[in-house]
Amino acid sequence: MAYLRRVITNYLSSLRAYLREASGFSDFIQVFRVRLALSKIGYIACRRPIVAQLRLKSFGSAPIYVRSHTTDISVLNEIIASGGYDALVRHPVPDARLIVDLGANTGLVDRWFLARYPRARIVAVEPEPGNYATLRSNVADFAVETVPAAIGAWERRLMLHTSSGEHGFTMVGAPPNGAAAIEVPVVTMASILTSGDPIDLLKVDIEGAEEELFADCKAWIGRVEMLLVECHGNYTLSRLTDALGKAGAKFNLLETDLKPEFGFEVGLFRRA
């Protein structure tokens, strides 16, 4: 019964968010079809994979693209139903001009950023080819530079793998048996930061590679004003704070979102 209550609660939360966000009835129907595609009635609601073109209020007037039968709907729900980025509403980035998104997935978060900071330029880094193609579609008409690679402390090629869907590709560890795996390039912060502009917001969601990234961040961390990081596994916000201190960077931790049941912690920082 507890499981059933959670399922019903999640569906009702999604339903309310879709009703609130949809610009028209067709947008509501399309997004709910995508939501149902992964359910037990998916063979009725959305039998074949589709790419839904949706106009949702939180993403501005231009459409966004969401794939059915993928984890795209989970990312969308995190933004509009679960309030995953509401910390940035409570602690806004003042007049953001440069946002760097490491682990951009399909660009939905970037579109959410642009709806709030229309003058911002974004550098979006995403290694998985299917996600990257959808990212390109979602930001095609905006000031977004896309980079088809993983981010790390040094350049190389390695295997990216996932056992949890399109939003869970990681370069940490060896691919487990049965995991989807692809070879991708790894780029560095130095290679993607082509100007000396300050980084108003750095968003990091790279499925465990944050430990490598922040272990060697002294050369660029001084340019970052605000930092939104998802820390995975044994790499906690406490360890991240220690790494920032060792790099000579002083940040105040504004908010935390601890999710031990999912194995990660999220922290929003502002330069002290």
Q: Integer distance in angstroms from the first to the last C-alpha of the chain?
A: 47
Count other C-beta atoms under 10 Å from residue 246's C-beta.
12
pTM for the predicted model, two decimal places:
0.91
Question: Residue 23: is its pLDDT beyond 90?
Answer: yes
Strand-pairing partners, residue 258, are 265
Instruction: Kindly report, residue by residue over 57-109, the tens digit of the pLDDT.
Output: 999 999 999 999 999 999 999 999 999 999 999 999 988 999 999 999 999 99
Compute the average pLDDT of residues 41-46: 88
- 27 CB neighbour count, 10 Å cutoff: 20
Beta carbons of 268 and 237 less than 8 angstroms apart: no
The pLDDT value recorded for residue 258 is 84
Q: Where in the chain is the domain with CATH 3.40.50.150?
A: 84-272
Report which of 174, 164, 129 is spatially closest to residue 150, judged by C-alpha positions. 129
CA-closest candidate to residue 266, choices 185, 190, 205: 205
d(CA 171, CA 155): 13
Residue 3's pLDDT is what? 54
Domain range 84-272, CATH class: alpha beta
- Listed in order, strand segments (DSSP E) in the chain are 51-54, 64-67, 98-102, 121-125, 144-147, 150-151, 156-162, 180-187, 199-204, 224-232, 251-259, 264-271
Bigger pLDDT: 258 or 231? 231
Q: What is the mean pLDDT of the chain?
A: 90
Mean pLDDT for 35-57 is 92
pLDDT band at 164 (very low <50, low <70, confident <90, very high): low
What's the pLDDT at 165? 52
What mean pLDDT do residues 253-266 have? 87
Q: Under a CB-based contact definition with an 8 Å cutoff, are residues 50 and 23 in contact?
A: no
pLDDT band per the 50, 70, 90 thresholds, residue 40: confident
- Under the banding of pLDDT at 50, 70 and 90, the label for residue 141 is very high
